[in-house]
Chain A
Amino acid sequence: MNKKIELIDVSYVYGERTPFEITALKNVNLNIEAGSVTGIIGHTGSGKSTLVRLFNGLERPASGKVLLDGVDIWEKPKEIGKVRYRVGLVMQYPEYQLFEETVAADIAYGPKNMGLDADAVEERVKKYSALVGLSEEDLQKSPFELSGGQKRRAAIAGIMAMKPEVLVLDEPAAGLDPVGRNLIFDAIEEYRAVEGATVIIVSHSMEDMAARCDRVIVMSDGEVVADGTRDEVFSCADKLVSVGLDVPEITKLAELLASRGFDFGKTVYTVSDAADIICRALSGGGNE
């Protein structure tokens, strides 16, 4: 496995030495494989939001190391700003960070901070606004004239325009309807394919995670409780339930069917997979 990001024994404490001290992360060890789509799931307050802020050096661990391509990102604390360009973070409800007069200017904010020249900035604005599905016309509008879903995509383009090697997204589809959600996930997938980037998605939606991620990390109470391929993690439903999470509905259905004598033969996540297997069984080629 080619490790893009590696966390070694990382702990993080909020409000150290005050009466409000909270340990957000306890001795976390994990690897993010280069080029993979990794999902991080966990209950609110499980430490996953702190975790994503550690990846790009917005927070510094109380102890332990965060390695990017094998190099400790805090080796030269003064250069931590550069890490933020390499690991792009899209926070929850990113549309609330839009501030410029036009969408184009807003997307250009990150690349400009990187010190790119005007031509390069413009090229990136064009490329990534198109990638998230915004039109030329949208670019000249004020961000506040866009619809909710468009604003979200403009904000994501603003991070993509920094061309990060790792794209981290915290609940990218929160509050959007299915159409808006698919547009966002498609854009993320395209970015990964075009740039060969590593993608990390934090989400509550088991269905989205199962459909989009290769690897899944489960957090609970500041610790990693499961880490593995999608099949490995979702096949232990009991463990997920014990930390207050769920399995995708279709996986639940598969379990019910298995207990009543019909085994899918593998862990299923998508509707079409399940339909394939059932149809095959119905047409005589049963799995039993």
Chain B
Amino acid sequence: MTHLIETRELCFSYDDEENESTENKLEGKYALCGVNITIDKGEFVAVVGRNGSGKSTFAKLLNLVLEASSGEVYIDGKKVSPEMTDEELLDLRRRVGMVFQNPDNQLVATIVEEDVAFGPENLGIPSAEIRERVDAALELVGMTEYARHEPHRLSGGQKQRVAIAGIIAMMPECMIFDESTAMLDPSGRAEVVDVMEKLVREKGITVINITHLMSEAARADRIIVINEGKVIGEGTPKEIFTNTELVRRAGLELPQCAALLGELRARGVRIDGAGITPDECADIIIKKLQNREEE
């Protein structure tokens, strides 16, 4: 079976990119080296790592915003390379959509629905169908009532939802969120992650969430941990959350409840199972306390 996304020995170094700004060079001083990852259709994957770990670089290589220095990327078995024809490149970008960090710098139109229509318009979709797609996309992200609003008057979370709708209207198979929640407040963050979940569960779209927040990564099916340009761990949220050492090595922090279980383990308390949410952790701790009483 072919995977939706497969990378083989993927490497990237910013020295090759003369056009990149200094900041990017610095962020990517670890670049990316020897990354082998497969992602299947319909998966919800979180790629986590600290600032400058290379997680964002990885995302940008998937839809050829950046060109790999060496190694290969395959989307649905098809090799991604700068030698692709213009049509192939457009098709790649349509299939692998991307939502960026700064909500202001990805909206092009002065009216919400016009912005959502931008992608399909570029693809040359007939007008009537664009209308349907735009309405459906706005509905999906819960922004229908703001269709005629100006983007600059929306909150950060709302702007990001409009940006998501703009990608959905192109009917992608996969959506990459490149630190799309980093500039949002907690409620905006929750809005965006809720939409991600909806995309995976209801629409079957593959979602890749690039983030440094473990609490967000917990909502994915699988977590890939990147540090200094290399994959240092991979597993389900429960597997990663119990591996306190791995998380620490990646320069990340667990949410408090999971951290508490880790701390207890470190102090020699035997904890069975893994907990991520406060409820799960409460279950584990209560069970432990009851066991002690029985002993």
Q: Which residues of A contact B (CB under 8 A)?
A: 43-44, 144-149, 174-180, 204-205, 207, 244, 246, 248-250, 252-253, 256-257, 260-262, 271-272, 274-275, 278-279, 281-282, 284
In the complex, what residues of B have CB within 8 A of residue A44's CB? 155-156, 185, 187-188
Q: Is the interface of A mostly helix, strand, loop or mixed?
A: helix
- Whether, in the assembled complex, B182 has its beta carbon less than 8 Å from a beta carbon of chain A, the answer is yes
- Is there an interface contact between B264 and A257, defined as CB atoms closer than 8 Å? no
Query: Among the listed stretches B127-135, B141-149, B231-239, B285-293, which one makes contact with chain A, having 4 or more residues with CB under 8 Å of it?
Result: B285-293
Interface residues of B in 202-259 (CB under 8 A from A): 212, 251-253, 255-257, 259
Name which of B5-13, B38-46, B73-81, B275-283 contacts chain A: B275-283
With A149-B51, A177-B50, A179-B50 known as contacts, the answer to whether A278 contacts B264 (CB < 8 A) is yes
Q: Are B260 and A275 in touch, CB under 8 angstroms?
A: yes
| 9 further interface pairs, Cβ-Cβ under 8 Å (given A178-B252, A253-B260) | A175-B182, A177-B212, A178-B251, A250-B256, A250-B260, A252-B278, A253-B256, A271-B263, A278-B285
CB distance A147 to B51 under 8 Å? Answer: yes
Look across to chain A and name the residue whose beta carbon is closest to the beta carbon of B265: A275
B104 to chain A, nearest CB (A): 12
Q: How far is the CA of A262 from the CA of B26 in the complex (A)?
A: 49
Does B186 sit within 8 A of A, measured CB to CB? yes
CB nearest to A149 among chain B residues: B51
**Across-interface contacts of B257 in A (CB, < 8 A):** 249-250, 253
Shortest distance in angstroms between B220's beta carbon and chain A's nearest beta carbon? 18
Residues of B within 8 A of A147 (CB): 23, 26-27, 51-52
- The total of interchain contacts (Cβ-Cβ below 8 angstroms) comes to 100
CB distance from B155 to the nearest CB of A (A): 6
Q: Known contacts A244-B187, A246-B186: does B27 contact A148 (CB below 8 Å)?
A: yes
Q: Chain B's nearest CB lies how many Å from the CB of A230?
A: 15
A207/B256 contact (C-beta < 8 A), A145-B26, A147-B52, A179-B50 known: yes
The answer for the CA separation of A179 and B253 in the assembled complex, in Å, is 9
Which residues from chain A contact B23 at a C-beta distance below 8 Å? 144-145, 147-148
Closest A residue, CB atoms, query B49: A177
Q: Are B253 and A178 in contact (CB under 8 A)?
A: yes
Q: Is the CB of A274 within 8 A of B22?
A: no
Binding site for A on B (CB under 8 A): 22-23, 26-27, 50-52, 155-156, 182-183, 185-188, 212, 251-253, 255-257, 259-260, 263-264, 267, 269, 278-279, 281-282, 285-286, 288-289, 292
Given contacts A44-B155, A44-B187, contact A256 B279 (CB under 8 A): yes
- What CA separation (Å) do A147 and B53 show in the bound complex? 12
Give Cα distance in the complex from A204 to B183, angstroms: 12
Chain B contacts of A148 at CB under 8 A? 23, 27, 51
The 5 closest A-B pairs by CB, nearest first: A178-B253, A256-B282, A249-B256, A250-B256, A177-B50
Q: Which of B23, B52, B289, B292 has the most CB of A within 10 A?
A: B289
Which one of A180, A272, A282 contacts B288 once the chains associate, using CB atoms below 8 Å? A282
Whether the Cβ atoms of A175 and B183 lie closer than 8 Å is: yes
User: In the complex the two chains form, is B269's CB within 8 Å of A282's CB?
Assistant: yes
Q: Inside 8 A of A275's CB, which chain B residues have their CB? A: 260, 263-264, 267
A174/B260 in contact, CB under 8 A: no
Chain B proximity of A208: nearest CB distance (Å)? 11
Q: Is the CB of B285 within 8 A of A257?
A: yes
| Cβ contacts under 8 Å, B288 to chain A | 282
* A195 and B71 alpha carbons, distance in the complex (Å): 53
CB pair A282 B183 closer than 8 Å: no
Find out whether the CB atom of A249 lies under 8 angstroms from the CB atom of B251.
no
A236 to B98, CA, bound (A): 41
Name the CB-closest residue of B to A269: B256
Among residues of A, the one whose C-beta sits closest to the C-beta of B267 is: A279
Q: A260-B282, A272-B263 are in contact. Are A174 and B187 (CB under 8 A)?
A: no
Chain B residues with CB under 8 A of A257: 282, 285-286
